[in-house]
Amino acid sequence: MAASLLNKALKPIKHPNFLSALRSLNFSSIATAHGNPSDGPSSSSFTFDNANNNKEKDDNSIYIKPPTSNASTEKTTSVTMPMSFMTGSIVGKRFYEKVTTRESDDGVGWTVMLDYRTLKTPSKRPLKLPTLALAKAIAAEWEYQQTDGIRPFTMPLMKLACTALERVPLTRTKIIEHLMKKFDQDLVFCRAPEDNTLTAGVHARQVEKVDPLLSWLNSEFGFQPIVYSSFFGGKQGEGLSKAVENLLKKTDDCELAAIDALAAAAHSLVIALGIFRGKLQIEEAIELIRLEEDLQVDKWGLVEGGHDVDIADLKVQISSATVFLGLSRKNFFH
């Protein structure tokens, strides 16, 4: 059902690989509506808030209420949601019937509409998205919330959009510093010993699968990466580290949010950059991330409720960040 809506919503998109990746995401979430009648007339504002009002009522309820600010003379309403929206718990029932997209008021970007209300970020900033494709994808996440509660953990694109709009502009320097701090211990730089019978198979697989990515890294940035066998990692050359850092500084907010999410899921900035630059597809990235563990599964078997859950979670994280990256690019579908 979710796939059919995505096909309809993203019909203008002609890029087959990206549509395939988008369809792989799980949009079959759950939720439906609930709302107290507002004292004021209808509005066009949807927002999340950590309001302390109505404490005697259920913290997970969603209420429509007029704003308390006296600065505006125009009467509007907004939807107040608990901050548990950002933690992954169920935050309330579905209060809207129709989800649409429209161009933003200033003509720069696109917004998502829940009935007549404009979707906003948790800090009440307009959720102004760079492309119509991304707006439609996020609208699909909201459309497939059903009756018993809105589940934020089924809305990865919405979460990434809020991160790009709110967190990245304020903490860009710290995000880049954190990524570079982990760069020397990147997953692809760690090589299993070749002269050990227990790890010889892992080493051979790393040479086969990882070396092409390291060769690409060399050609892309002009510096040869250093591999090591120490558990504590090694040190990459200053030239390579500086080149990677300069690339990160040139990214826009959506790109950096996606790279940060990919690097966190992959434990590898190099794999994240491979996806960012188009060197790696989603399936190839997941294969590199799980290379050693998949060898263990082949040898000892898969643990149900363990390995299979980890694989599913990794697929969602890598796929959603990759899809978000592509859909946020204005020239991607031209």
pLDDT, tens digit (0-9, with 9 covering 90-100), for 151-204: 888 999 999 999 999 999 999 999 999 999 999 999 999 998 888 877 888 989
SS3 129: strand
In a domain, 228, yes or no: yes
In a domain, 119, yes or no: yes
| Same domain, yes or no: 212 and 293 | yes
In a domain, 334, yes or no: no
- 4, pLDDT greater than 90: no
| Same domain, yes or no: 107 and 216 | no
| Same domain, yes or no: 313 and 184 | yes
Residue 20: what pLDDT?
A: 52
| Same domain, yes or no: 147 and 222 | no
Write down the mean pLDDT value for the chain: 79
Q: Which of 309, 217, 306 is nearest to 268 (CA)?
A: 217
| Same domain, yes or no: 174 and 111 | no
Domain residues for 196? 164-326
The count of other CB atoms within 10 Å of the CB of residue 334 is 6
Q: Can you give the CATH number for the domain in which 115 is found?
A: 3.30.2180.10
| Same domain, yes or no: 301 and 180 | yes
Q: Give the integer Cα–Cα distance in Å for 92 and 86.
A: 13
| Same domain, yes or no: 311 and 207 | yes
Q: Considering its fold, how many domains does the chain have in total?
A: 2
- 46, pLDDT greater than 50: no
| Same domain, yes or no: 169 and 249 | yes
Q: Are the C-beta atoms of residues 228 and 235 closer than 8 Å to each other?
A: no
Tokens of 202: 């892992």
Residue predicted with more confidence, 105 or 24: 105
Q: Give the integer Cα–Cα distance in Å for 21 and 137.
A: 12
> pLDDT above 70 covers what percent of the chain?
72
Tokens of 83: 């901050």
In a domain, 132, yes or no: yes
| Same domain, yes or no: 188 and 227 | yes
Domain ends where: 151, 179, 198? Answer: 151
Rounded to two decimals, the pTM is: 0.75
Q: Give the integer Cα–Cα distance in Å for 121 and 141.
A: 15
| Same domain, yes or no: 104 and 172 | no
Q: Give the integer Cα–Cα distance in Å for 167 and 165.
A: 6
Dihedral sign computed on CA atoms, order 150, 153, 158, 159: positive
Q: Can you give the CATH number for the domain in which 299 is found?
A: 1.10.3580.10
Largest CA-CA distance found in the chain, in angstroms, rounded:
76
